[in-house]
Structure formats: C-alpha cells, structure tokens
Structure 1
Amino acid sequence: MTQPTRPFQGESAASRISARQKTLLDTAFAMASEVGWSALSIHQLCLEAGLNKRYFYESFKNLDELAAALVNDLAEQLIETGQAAALSGLQQGLDTSALARHALRATIGWLVDDPRRTKMLFSVASENPQALHHRQEVIRKLAQTLSVFSIEYHQADEPHAIAKVGSALLIGGTIEIVVSWLDGYLPLSLDELVEDVACFWVAVGDSAIELTRKRQGME
C-alpha cells in the first residue's frame, strides 16, 4: 500500500509509521505470550492495539512477517544487553570468571525479568514457521557473537573451529537451562544459576584454549 509522507501535527510520516509498528509489536508480544500465535488473528490484534487494519498492512504483509520481526527485535535487545555487559565488565578490569558472571547476570537477568521474552524467543516461536526460522537464526547469531568475542578476548591469531563449537554448545545449553529454571525444574536461586552457568562457560572456554594449543602443536 502507498505509504503516507506528509507530516501531521508536527510528527513526520515515518515517525508515525514507526510508532504504529511498535504498538503492533508490543501488542502482539503480549497477546501471543498469552494465547500463542495459532490463536492470534490480525483482526484481534488490531482491535487490541486500537488501530485500523490498514495500519497493520503498512508495516507487515501477514502475521508470519510480524512474528519474525518480533523475534528479531527481542534478539537484538538480548545481544545488545550482552555486549553492553561484556564491555562494562572489560572496562572494570574483571578477570575471566568475574566477566562471565557479569555478562551472564545481565543476559539471563534480561530473559527472566520478563519471562515472556524467553517464552517468545525460544518456545512460542516454534508455533509459527517464520518465527521458528528466526528463532534458529537467533541461536546461530548469539553463538556467532560469542565466538567472535571469545576469539578477540583470548587474542587468538585466527578463528578456530573449536570456538564455534564451544559457542554453539554454551548458547544452546544456556537457553535450555534458563527455560528449565523458569519452568521450576531447577531448584536454584538466580544468583546460583548465574554462578553455575558461568563456571561451565569458563570451563568450556579454558578447554577450548587448551585443545587449540594442542592442535597447533601437532601441526
């Protein structure tokens, strides 16, 4: 459909479109967290958001596209949270163990402060084909981000496959642990959860470094 371009009451057309898009994403987040994507309709969504259907179609082709956009938006927030925590930890001069706890406290905290975020990213997303695809992309992107950081942190002279393997293992495992904790299957406090996960992250990182050195020595 044709996008409006003229300002209205001092607000640009692009700003109004962005605001309506955010309203739709926020409303979809709340509704899908409650009833799931399969029970959601464009009519219900627009009714709850207080917007005409035409405003839905100015931003999204269908609910699948909206679901994918929502998963992407949450993933970016999670990655930004982790990167900001890692940077602040480095600036504080934290050692490896403390840095892992610091970064994980921020990222796991972000996921559990509003459990709907975890549910939307890693549970509800499986109900929607495009959201499921983007869920898989989210996990790969998180692992890639961790891999790049670990290579830079340990000042590796070149990327090593073990960094990718270890990152995928840590990201996938941590997601399952957080989901299990939120579901009540792990009788731990949040501080204990972060401490335990951080210990495994450091152990895997140390093992990866040792294995890399052994492989280099064999070449």
Structure 2
Amino acid sequence: MTHPTRPFQGQSAKSRVQARRQQLLSQAYEIIATEGWRKLSIHKLCAQAGLNKRYFYESFDSLDTMAAALIDDLAEELITIGQNAALGGWQEGMDTATLARHVLDRCIGWMVDEPARTRLLFSSASENPQALEQRKVVIRKMARVLSAFSIQYHQAGEPLPIAHVGSALLIGGTIEAVMTWLDDDVAVSREEFVEDIACFWVAVGDSAISLTRSRGITPTTDAGTEPADKR
C-alpha cells in the first residue's frame, strides 16, 4: 500500500508508521502471551490495538510476517542487552569469570523477569511456522554474535571454527537450561543458576582455547585489551 509522507502533529510519516507497527507488535505479544498463537487474528489484533486494518498492512503482509517480526524484535532486544553488558564489563576490566557472570546475569534476568516473552521466543514460537523459522534464524544470529565477541575478546585474529561450535553449544544449552529452570525442574536460586551457567561458559571457553592450541594455533588471550571499535 502507499505510505503517507506528510508530517502530522510534529511527527513525520515514517515515525507514525513505526509507532503503529510497534503498537501492533506490542498488542500481538499481549494476545499471544495470554491466549496463545491460535487466538491471534488480524481482526482481533487491530481491534485491541485500536487501529484500522489498513494500518496492519502498511507494515506487514500477513500474520506470519508479523510473527517473524515479533520474534526478531524480542531477539534483538536480548542481543542488545548481552552486547552492552559484554562491552561494558570488558571496558571495566572484568576478568573472564566475572564478565561471564555479569553478561549472563543481564541476559538471564531479561529472560526470567518476564517469562512470557522467553516462552514466546523460544518455546511457543513452534506453534507458528514462520515464527519457528525466525526462531532458528535468531538463535543462529545469537551464536554468531557470541562467536564474534569471543574471537575479539581472546584476540584470536581469525574466525576459528571452534568458536562457532562452542558458541552454538553455549547459546542452545543456555536457552534449554533457562526453560528448564522456568519450569521449576531445577531447584536452585536465580543467583546460583547464573553462577552455574557462567562456570560452564568459562569452562567451554577454556577448553576451546586448549583445543585450538593443540591444533597448532596460538590465540592471544590478553582479555584486558579494549575492543577495536572502543579504543
């Protein structure tokens, strides 16, 4: 459809479209979190968001497109939290174990403080085919982000395969562990849970470095060096 281009009440046309898009995503989240994917329809969504259906189609082609966008937005929020925590902790000079706890405390906190968004992102997304596909995409993206950071953190200087393998293992395993903890299948406090996961992350990282060296590659592990874009 043709998008409006004129400003209105001080807002540009682009910002109004973005605001309506976010309004629809927020309302969709509320419906899915409380009633499930099967209760979501364009009519219900627009009615509860107080918007005409034409505003739905200015941002999304279908409910499937919107479902993918919702998964992507939630994932981006979590990735941003992790990246900010990692860079902030690194610049403060945290050692590896402290940095792992710091990052995981922020990320796991986001996941457990509002379990509905975690279940939507990593569990109930399977109820919608497009959301399920997007969930796979964002999990791979999370692994790539972690891999890139670990390579930079350890000053490896090249994209080592073990970094990608280890990152996929850590991301997938942590998601499963959080879902298990949310289901009350792990009888530990949140603080103990974060500490446990952080210990596993450090152990996997140390093992990856040892394995890399055993293959004749010697990464520099001066973790106190600032990231290149922050020097």
Give the equivalent residue in structure 2 for 1:177.
177
For 1:124, give the aligned amino acid. Answer: S
Residue identity opposite 1:107 in structure 2: C
Measured after TM superposition, the shift of residue 91 of structure 1 is: 1.6
Does residue 90 in structure 1 map to residue 90 in structure 2? Answer: yes
Q: Deviations over 1:39-59 (max 9, x none)?
A: 211111111111111111111
Q: Which residue of 2 aligns with 1:77?
A: 77
Secondary structure of 2:46's counterpart equals helix
Instruction: Tell me the residue number matched to 2:54.
Output: 54
Identity percentage of aligned residues: 65
Count of equivalent residues: 217
Normalised by the length of structure 2, the TM-score is 0.92
The one-letter amino acid paired with 1:202 is V
Alignment of 1:10-159 (within 5 A): 10-159=10-159
1:193 is aligned to 193
Q: Secondary structure at the match of 2:216?
A: helix
Question: Using the alignment, how far apart are the partners of 1:36 and 1:65 within structure 2?
Answer: 17
How many angstroms does 1:124 deviate by?
1.6
How much does 1:141 deviate? Answer: 0.5
Q: Distance in 2 between matches of 1:140 and 1:8?
A: 40
Runs of 4+ more than 2 Å apart? none
Equivalent-residue separation in structure 2 for 1:12 and 1:164 (angstroms): 42
Whichever residue aligns with residue 122 of structure 1, its letter is F
Hey, what's the Cα distance between the residues in 2 that align with 1:178 and 1:88? 24
TM-score (norm 1): 0.96
The aligned amino acid for 2:130 is: Q
Return 191-200 or 109-118, whichever deviates more: 109-118
Q: Does 1:202 align with 2:202?
A: yes
For the 8 Å contact 1:25–1:66, the answer to whether it is kept is yes
8 Å contact 1:33–1:124 — kept in the other structure?
no
Question: 1:8 maps to what in 2?
Answer: 8
Q: C-alpha distance in 2, partners of 1:160/1:202?
A: 17
SS in structure 2 at match of 1:6: coil
Q: Distance in 2 between matches of 1:6 and 1:157?
A: 49
Deviations 1:21-44 (A, max 9, x none): 110000001111122212211111
Unaligned ranges ≥5, structure 2: 218-231
Q: 1:119-141: CA deviations, max 9, x gaps?
A: 11101211111111110011100
Q: What displacement does 1:10 show?
A: 2.3
Is this contact kept in 2: 1:100–1:202, CA < 8 A?
yes
Task: Look up the SS of the partner of 1:44 in the other structure.
Answer: helix
